[in-house]
Amino acid sequence: MARKEIVKRIPGGKTLKVELELKGSKIEKVVFSGDFFAYPPEIFEELEKSLRNVDIEEVEERIRKYNEKIILLGLSLEDIVSAIRELLEKD
């Protein structure tokens, strides 16, 4: 199992940390943290859980499904997608 993490500074000054555990091309676990706000918080936890055992090719589509379900202050779902993309491109 491979573990990866990235910390990104989002325009506007907020920080996003993404921690991934990968098994092959599947995400075993993902944790998002930082100094942003998500409402309702339980939907943000649901988003993390929905990415478990998902092939990395499907991650962006899964995240974008939450566009109408969650309100983020300090970052966007596209910021999360971008951070994951960057993280997966790192060796």
Distance between CA 45 and CA 56 in Å, rounded? 19
Question: Are residues 38 and 53 in contact, defined by beta-carbon separation less than 8 angstroms?
Answer: no
pLDDT on residue 91: 63
Question: Are residues 51 and 64 in contact, defined by beta-carbon separation less than 8 angstroms?
Answer: no
Residue-wise pLDDT for 37-64, tens only, equals 999 999 999 999 999 999 999 999 999 9
pTM more than 0.85: yes
pLDDT on residue 43: 94
CA proximity to 84, closest of 64, 45, 14: 64
| All domains of the chain in start order, with CATH | 2-89 (3.30.390.50)
Residue 10 has pLDDT above 80, yes or no: yes
